[in-house]
């Protein structure tokens, strides 16, 4: 489904390598990054394990997350993920706080949306976010994604009640946004 690496004007998406563990640890160890995630802040062993688990992405399988490194000007700045299901895909993104606010997350998600919609079986791309993650909500809306009104998932995450929102964009909307 995906051929790596993927190049855009500002970023490159490539398979995460074992040697990326320290870069991953540098931001996934921060409480501010882990706050709205299912995972706790990483220790170095968890970062190494994560890097190893992502180092051979299965880019042609449905139902499996594909974890990718986000690189700009030779620097590892975050990671993103894409999962294909039969008729939809799901995306996610983590950017190191040092590189937030420069549009890299939007660039990354635009690439992932393009990749997803290149697959002719994909009609919709979704993203799940915590209802309190206002930066994520703003980002998803800036991509033309809209909140799915009949989806409101209450979960217990890290011992606290959380509400998740699902955001979605359909192929026709994406094509209009891209070409409009």
**High-pLDDT (> 70) share of the chain, %:** 98
* Paired tokens of 100: 């937030």
Model pLDDT for residues 148-172, shown as the tens digit of each residue: 998 878 777 777 888 999 999 999 9
Q: Three-state SS string across 2-67, please?
A: CCCCEECCCCEEEECCHHHHHHHHHHHCCHHHHCCCCCCCCCHHHHHHHHHHHCCCCCCCCCCEEE
Buried b (16+ CB within 10 A) or exposed e, 155-166: eeeeeeebebbb
Three-state DSSP at 107 gives: helix
Model pLDDT for residues 122-156, shown as the tens digit of each residue: 999 999 999 999 999 999 999 999 999 988 787 77
Model pLDDT for residues 25-71, shown as the tens digit of each residue: 999 999 999 999 989 999 999 999 999 999 988 888 889 999 999 99
* Paired tokens of 27: 């931001």
Cα–Cα–Cα angle for 9, 14, 16, nearest 5°? 140
- pLDDT score recorded for residue 32: 95
Does the pLDDT at position 1 exceed 70?
A: no
- pLDDT score recorded for residue 150: 86
The overall average pLDDT reported for the chain is: 93
DSSP string, 69-105: EEEETTEEEEEEEEEE-SSEEEEEEEE-GGGTTSSHH
The answer to whether the beta carbons of residues 106 and 143 sit under 8 Å apart is: yes
- pLDDT score recorded for residue 180: 55
* Rounded Cα gap, residues 138 and 180, in angstroms: 20
- pLDDT score recorded for residue 151: 83
The answer to whether the beta carbons of residues 146 and 168 sit under 8 Å apart is: yes
Model pLDDT for residues 98-121, shown as the tens digit of each residue: 999 999 999 999 999 999 999 788
């Amino acid at each position: 489904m995906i051929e790596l690496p993927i190049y855009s004007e500002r970023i490159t998406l490539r398979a995460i390598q074992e040697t990326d563990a320290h870069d991953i640890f540098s931001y996934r160890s921060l409480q501010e990054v882990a706050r709205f995630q299912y995972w706790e802040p990483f220790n170095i062993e968890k970062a190494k394990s994560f890097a190893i688990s992502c180092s051979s992405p299965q880019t042609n399988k449905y139902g499996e997350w594909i974890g990718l490194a986000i690189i700009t000007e030779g620097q590892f700045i975050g990671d993103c993920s894409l999962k294909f299901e039969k008729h939809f895909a799901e995306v996610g993104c983590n950017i190191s706080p040092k590189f937030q606010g420069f549009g890299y997350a939007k660039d990354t998600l635009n690439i992932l949306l393009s990749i997803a919609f290149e697959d002719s079986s994909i009609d919709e791309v979704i993203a799940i976010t915590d209802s309190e993650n206002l930066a994520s909500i703003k980002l998803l809306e800036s991509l033309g994604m809209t909140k799915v009104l009949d989806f409101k998932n209450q979960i217990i995450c890290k011992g606290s009640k959380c509400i998740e929102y699902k955001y979605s964009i359909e192929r026709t909307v994406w094509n209009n946004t891209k070409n409009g």
